[in-house]
Amino acid sequence: MPVYLDHAATTPILPEALAAYVHALTTVGNPSSIHSAGQATKMVLETGREQVAASVGADSVEIVFTSGGTESVNLGVKGLYWARQRDRARPRIVVPAGEHHASVDTVTWLEQHDGAVIHEIPLDALGRLDLTALAAALADPSDVALVTFLWANNEVGTIQPVADVVRIAHAAGVPVHCDAVSAYGQVPIDVHHAGGGSEPLDATSISAHKIGGPVGIGALVLARSAVVEPLIHGGGQQRQVRSGTQDAPAAAAFGVAASALHDSARATVLRDAVIAGVASRVPSAVLRGDPVDRLPGNAHFTFPGCEGDSLLFLLDAAGISVSTGSACQAGIPEPSHVLMAMGVSETDARGALRITVGHTTTPEDVTALLDALPDAVARASVAGMAGHAPALGAR
């Protein structure tokens, strides 16, 4: 049986979410129409919105449905940036190193096309952002448009000090966008009391397919007080922020997935079994990320002398799906920018492997991984010394 251990990339849709999606597809009507068919669809849509809102401690009016996490990040970052230019120039965007490419590429686009200035905050060796550097960056906030950061790193799983970040930014009068896509469904999220603190988030990005919902829908949780410029113009269906006919069936499925019980304790047990097993079977492996404050489903390692892609191919040939966690642009494997930001050498960063458990993971899946891994590492080490990756399916 195939073993799927790449839940951070996407996780299988929950049966109840799929059932809700299929059922909602039979409801015909545009939710913006005032006739009974349209209003029936609107009821489906708004029920999903209320369920998603409840999952993050938000009001339903604060949920702006999008096509997924990437659009949410673009709307949150660009929207806040453009809105902050209305009365005077505020070109600076404060962003930690090692962010998801949805944020990295968005702020880079604003730098190249719209005069933004990127102010990067360093990470420590565990992937935590430097709060002292953040405070220094906001000592004079007069030219700062926003702060944007990950709730938890999508590669190494380190959970950031969310409450402290929001407190520092708001004390300087700067709005905050948080990319919570990787954290959503894994740790408690209350956007009105970010990270358990007293301050609310201004904008928060989440996605359905990371929690057992369908691909193709996400949300920007936008505080009532937040002002953003829209990316998409048209009918103004969602607070004049995001235009377009809303996908009621996807919203229904998203809502059901958001309402499901996400068992972080079970995920933690499985993750810890992976970490302990890898340490025992492959003593040279190095656990990356915070050993304590990390996502329940995330185990991330580097394997000295190995190429991560080699490990991935060898495990895939054994029927086990994992990830390197590194970017691959234009077909050329690149070392993880996250690990590089944490001070890991380029050579070591190339040997990364991310193993992420989820709602379908069993103890037997973990055993299968641990049984296959030592041989994969041994063969990948030989391939690394030879300067090439093994062919897919090679024995």
- Cα-trace Rg, the chain: 22
Give dist(CA 89, CA 144) in Å, integer. Answer: 9
Indicate the pairing of strand 117-121 with strand 298-302: unpaired
The two three-digit tokens of residue 179, written as one number: 């990319």
Q: Quick one: which of 317, 250, 311, 246 has its CA closest to 285?
A: 311
User: How many Å apart are CA 43 and CA 49, to the nearest integer?
Assistant: 10
DSSP-assigned letter for residue 186: T
- The yes-or-no answer on residue 328 being catalytic is yes
Which tokens is 104 given?
A: 């990295």
Counted residue by residue, the chain has a size of 395
Cα 146 versus chain centre, distance: 19
The CA distance from 351 to 288, in Å, is: 11
Query: Which of 22, 276, 328, 378 is the catalytic position?
Result: 328
Do the Cβ atoms of 374 and 363 come closer than 8 Å? Answer: no
Distance CA 209, CA 206 (A): 9
CB atoms inside a 10 Å sphere around CB 272:
13
**Annotated catalytic sites, by residue?**
328
